[in-house]
Amino acid sequence: MAKKPLTVADLQAEAAVFARQESTHAEPQLFGVTDGKAVGTYVEHKFQAYLLLKYMFAECNSASGIDFPFLDVDMKVTSITQPQSSCPFKSGRQKIFGLGYNLLVFVYEKRDDQVTKTGTLNFLHVVFVEAPSTADFQMTTGLRQIVQNKGNEDDIVAFLTDKNLPVDSIEAKQIAQDVLKSPPEVGYLTISNALQWRLQYSRVIAQAGQVTGVIKVR
């Protein structure tokens, strides 16, 4: 049977099936592993291999920076004990207008079996965050409130400065003008400033299926 092209709808449906299957799989390779990055790499590779059995798609390359560039989707794997990950920093505007792509977030609880020497990843949540909803919650709600209160360009620049948004004064002024023309959508991530963005997912886990743009896959 010929493989079909992978779509976003397929990706979401298969993520739910994969998470359910993987939650009962005891894996010797994961026993004793506490490095979240190693667990994430394991899951990403296994999910891509799972998809390749049924679907036709270009695999990720390092230049694209995201796992499914043809769908504008990046895959994130994180532990429920500290649901967060990093992503490349491109511009301070990402905190306001979104990362520029969708997120597929797998949230697991890891258990080790001392008898069988295996590790099992119980996937508690799989959430799909649409690109417009990948901005920072406090930043977007704060800016929307300023606009609602008839704030002006100076008010917005002052707010961006108070929030330590990593932009220069020229960019801050341009952002203020853009926000006044078209206020940003509410984002549901918490994004911390760093050399890379630090994304925190507690809110998207809690809001999945309850707000527009945050889809509960599992």
Within 8 A by CB and 6+ apart from 198, the residues are 84, 85, 86, 191, 192
Task: Return the bridge partners of 194, or none.
Answer: none
- Residue 57 confidence (pLDDT): 86
pLDDT by 10s per residue, the chain, length 218: 678 999 999 999 999 999 999 999 999 999 999 999 999 999 999 999 999 999 988 776 555 578 999 999 999 999 999 999 999 889 999 999 999 999 999 999 999 999 999 999 999 999 999 999 999 999 999 999 999 999 999 999 999 999 999 999 999 999 999 999 999 999 999 999 877 899 999 999 999 999 999 999 99
- Residue 61 confidence (pLDDT): 56
- Residue 113 confidence (pLDDT): 95
Within 8 A by CB and 6+ apart from 128, the residues are 12, 15, 102, 103, 104, 105, 214, 215, 217
User: Is the pTM for the entire model greater than 0.75?
Assistant: yes
DSSP string over 44-86: HHHHHHHHHTTEE-PPP-TTT-SSBGGGTEEEEEEETTS-EEE
| CB contact at 8 A, 218 and 20 | yes
Q: What is the DSSP letter of 218?
A: -
- Residue 194 confidence (pLDDT): 77
Within 8 A by CB and 6+ apart from 101, the residues are 66, 72, 73, 74, 131, 134
Given the DSSP bridges, would you call strands 118-129 and 73-79 parallel, antiparallel or unpaired?
unpaired
Q: Per-domain residue ranges for the chain?
A: 4-84+101-135+192-216, 137-181
Q: What is d(CA 125, CA 87) in angstroms, rounded to the nearest whole number?
A: 20
- Residue 169 confidence (pLDDT): 94
* Domain covering 4-84+101-135+192-216 in this structure, CATH number: 3.40.210
| CB contact at 8 A, 209 and 182 | no
- Residue 1 confidence (pLDDT): 67
